[in-house]
Chains A and B, each alone.
Chain A
């Protein structure tokens, strides 16, 4: 079993799942009198079937070319890698959750500090200073220079 579950095979299965899901939505699209012959669902159906067929082909090719060969170590260490990546993603999601209430400037400082520490930097004055400076720099660049209305959050109370 281990030998069948190569990366290509998993990729093929993923393509089949994505294609099937997309097709189910594509066949559900409304038709209207303003439709052309192809309709809103025409191209999506072509894409969906192409995805499914390509996925099946990839699976078959993989199984045929790998038959009997064992590929030890194909997935070795991948679980840990995914966990570390998920950690960084978590920091990003955390930013999304706090930026509205804490505001852009404070959230940015926290994001920069958290990312640096997550990447293996030990907490120090230097990290703190970099986070503060980086946050202030981006705030100045986006809010002042570019005039983007970033969420002010807590800073509203300071009248900034």
Chain B
């Protein structure tokens, strides 16, 4: 019942300091960042950490608010109706595209305007340390010889899509088991029910440090700084690349000065040594994408996802 929802307004008020690096005056005093994740969930922790470093650079108060419900449907409705004055943004992950496509909510990603991107979370393939699989090839060979059992955290998610694509390009027989979140998945990898699981590195931290799991490959487009020996799925010869983005989106028609302020501030915050000291050990990969490119990026991402869901028959 992890996905049963609660809505509450978390308040993390970070007071701004006057006279900041930004010469330009931001049009509003308080910026509210909303997330559909619950307090303490992935996006929530990310925003609360970020808000502390971002506030002085933008020269405003940054407040985090949880708008839960309908896997982002409530947050999208909130954002689509918010004023486009730079006072309110939604922290987006691929979830908001999936929800838009799968559940036909009243407001979708098309009613929003992507602002900028902060991070790309690397998705990795992992297995239990005591499993017989040493490499991804072992897993694929085993699936080719018999039948593989692979796990994704959620039913219709980027992880599920990545595995379905891997299954398609290799042409092997594999059951792809979806779960009720990453924890549920981890248990079934640890107890040997599944051959492999897919997850974000920071979720796996605890098990990884304890030596309970072994990483086999990453779905990212290049090797990870913290795991230079970990091959990408692509270089192993399976053409699947997954980009789990983490950025902001606002209502349609964000003013140009707001966009410019954010583009400058985000580059500055990602480069700041204090913030780097926080996010780098958590395996977040800074991937600033400016506004114009980001709009296109999200558009492509949505088109690709829609194609996948249509081809597999999940949606019409």
Instruction: Please say whether the chains A and B touch (CB closer than 8 A).
Output: yes
The residues of A with any CB-CB pair to B shorter than 8 Å are 30-34, 147-149
Residue of B nearest to A31 (CB): B313
**Cross-chain contact A33 with B312 (CB below 8 angstroms):** yes
* Shortest beta-carbon distance from B14 to chain A in Å: 18
* Shortest beta-carbon distance from B20 to chain A in Å: 30
B291 part of interface (Cβ distance < 8 Å): no
Bound-complex Cα distance A103 to B314 (A)? 42
**Cross-chain contact B8 with A33 (CB below 8 angstroms):** no
Contact among B9, B155, B313, B316 with A33 in the assembled complex (CB-CB below 8 Å): B313
The residues of B with any CB-CB pair to A shorter than 8 Å are 8-9, 155-156, 160, 164, 311-316
Contact among B8, B155, B156 with A147 in the assembled complex (CB-CB below 8 Å): B8
* Shortest beta-carbon distance from B161 to chain A in Å: 10
Which residues in B have their C-beta under 8 angstroms from that of A147? 8-9
Which residues in B have their C-beta under 8 angstroms from that of A34? 155-156, 160, 164, 312-314
Residue of A nearest to B11 (CB): A147
* Shortest beta-carbon distance from B50 to chain A in Å: 23
Which residues in B have their C-beta under 8 angstroms from that of A149? 9
Bound-complex Cα distance A33 to B8 (A)? 37
Known A-B contacts: A33-B313, A33-B314. Give 20 more (CB < 8 A). A30-B313, A30-B316, A31-B313, A32-B312, A32-B313, A32-B314, A32-B315, A33-B311, A33-B312, A34-B155, A34-B156, A34-B160, A34-B164, A34-B312, A34-B313, A34-B314, A147-B8, A147-B9, A148-B8, A149-B9
Which residues in A have their C-beta under 8 angstroms from that of B312? 32-34
Could you name 12 residue pairs across A and B whose Cβ atoms are closer than 8 Å?
A30-B316, A32-B312, A32-B315, A33-B311, A33-B312, A33-B314, A34-B160, A34-B312, A147-B8, A147-B9, A148-B8, A149-B9
Bound-complex Cα distance A30 to B160 (A)? 19
Which residues in A have their C-beta under 8 angstroms from that of B315? 32
* Shortest beta-carbon distance from A109 to chain B in Å: 25
Q: What 5 A-B pairs come out closest when comparing CB atoms?
A: A32-B313, A33-B312, A32-B314, A33-B313, A34-B312
* Shortest beta-carbon distance from A36 to chain B in Å: 8
Which residues in B have their C-beta under 8 angstroms from that of A148? 8
Chain B CB within 10 Å, residue with most, of A32, A148, A149: A32
